[in-house]
Amino acid sequence: MRLLTAVLVYAVGAGACFFGGSGPGVPPAADAGRTARVGLVVATNSPAFRRLLSVADRGGVIVLFVQPGGPGDQAGVSAGDVITAVDGNAVPNAEVGVVALRAHINEDRKLDIVRRNGDKKTITIHPRVPGAVDLRQLYTPLIDQRPNDPLLLYLRAQADQPVADYNKAIADLDRAITTDPQFAEARILRAELEWNLSEQNTLSATRRADLERAALRDWSDALHIDNKNARGISSIAEAIAVSQPQAALRAIKGVLDIDNRLPSAYYASGLAELTRRQYQKAAEAARTAVGLNPYDLRYYELLATSFQKLKRTDDCTKTLQSVFTLLSDTQEKARLLTICS
């Protein structure tokens, strides 16, 4: 793990991450009615994406792909547009941006965008409930035409989340990185996939160790390319939160200095605090993650687990019930409730 320690020091320096204040409350029920979508694939506007799409540094989230015939396409949104606000609210990263772009049926979204040429515009989009959209099928014909386009290969690998075939996604990222060795996001995604694959119990110990080393190399390379990449630092912190909680917390301190509205960073912090048995801090971090992104089940599970450790059993149950609006599987609901038992 020496390489990982070096990466974190290089990326964020030293420091301590902590949360304070009174105990967090139970979140409100997740709004399951926001089922309409805008037909855009977006990402945090990082140096790599700015370079690939010839965009200036304008903050916000960058449009990587527009679904042909989708609401965004019909409204005139183009790849390379940067969304700086949705309905007047700033969108600092992709996770918050995706949440903001969800809508109720017949509810419009107003996007403040900046075009590649610097022109600013407000666009009204009429989201709709999507049918069965297979992004992989949309990307593959485009990749057949441009087989070494690093952005398309990245998008197809990302579309496999949750990954049914890790090796297929990693192969796409291998090609993307070979074509563009400075593509930090491709290295970060490959690291995440390698790390997730290493946790499969069916693999041999040697194979798991090889994958862990490969993931650490990718994270290291990515952060040497872009040492302010909040997603990359946050994903490392999440990976090591249980094994090296103090290192994870130092990393998260750096992430929040870059972007204090990144939900996954609070989640990683909560995991580390849970490992340290700092249950109050874990609950505070998890509650912040839920507030920023009320559509990620993992955040509710962490909050409920923290409440259970704090002997707040009723709040544990109520937290899980607040996300039941998003779930139709009764077995999944029953599984979640075992956290509070």
Within a domain: 60: yes
186 and 330 in a single domain? The answer is: yes
Within a domain: 32: no
212 and 293 in a single domain? The answer is: yes
Q: Output the domain CATH number for residue 80.
A: 2.30.42.10
313 and 165 in a single domain? The answer is: yes
Q: What is the pLDDT of residues 262-312, one digit of tens each?
A: 999 999 999 999 999 999 999 999 999 999 999 999 999 999 999 999 999
193 and 296 in a single domain? The answer is: yes
Q: Which of 63-72, 111-120, 153-162, 280-289 has the lowest mean pLDDT?
A: 153-162
Q: What is the mean pLDDT of the segment spanning 2-29?
A: 59
pLDDT of 38: 97
Place of tokens 């772009």: 101
pTM, rounded to two decimals: 0.92
Within a domain: 290: yes
Rounded distance, CA 117 to CA 202, Å?
Answer: 51
Instruction: Write down which residue in 70, 103, 125 finishes a domain.
Output: 125
Q: Which of 166-170, 232-236, 311-315, 334-338 has the lowest mean pLDDT?
A: 166-170
Q: Output the domain CATH number for residue 139.
A: 1.25.40.10
8 and 78 in a single domain? The answer is: no
100 and 152 in a single domain? The answer is: no
Within a domain: 164: yes
63 and 209 in a single domain? The answer is: no
Within a domain: 33: no
pLDDT at 7 over 80: no
Q: Which domain holds residue 47?
A: 40-125
Instruction: Give the chain's domain count.
Output: 2
Q: Report the chain's terminal Cα–Cα distance, integer Å.
A: 36
Within a domain: 233: yes
Instruction: Write down which residue in 83, 106, 125 finishes a domain.
Output: 125
Rounded distance, CA 25 to CA 309, Å?
Answer: 15
144 and 253 in a single domain? The answer is: yes
Nearest 10 degrees: CA dihedral of 192, 198, 200, 203? 150
69 and 206 in a single domain? The answer is: no
184 and 302 in a single domain? The answer is: yes
Q: Side chain identity at 164, as an amino acid letter?
A: A
pLDDT of 247: 96
Question: Which tokens go with 47?
Answer: 């140096």
Q: What is the pLDDT of residues 127-179, one digit of tens each?
A: 999 877 788 889 999 999 999 999 999 999 998 765 568 888 999 999 999 99
Rounded distance, CA 180 to CA 225, Å?
Answer: 12
Q: For all residues of the chain together, what is the average pLDDT?
A: 92
Instruction: Write down which residue in 125, 144, 176 finishes a domain.
Output: 125
pLDDT at 3 over 50: no
Rounded distance, CA 183 to CA 46, Å?
Answer: 10
84 and 147 in a single domain? The answer is: no
Give the 3-state secondary structure of residue 60.
Answer: coil
148 and 266 in a single domain? The answer is: yes
Within a domain: 35: no
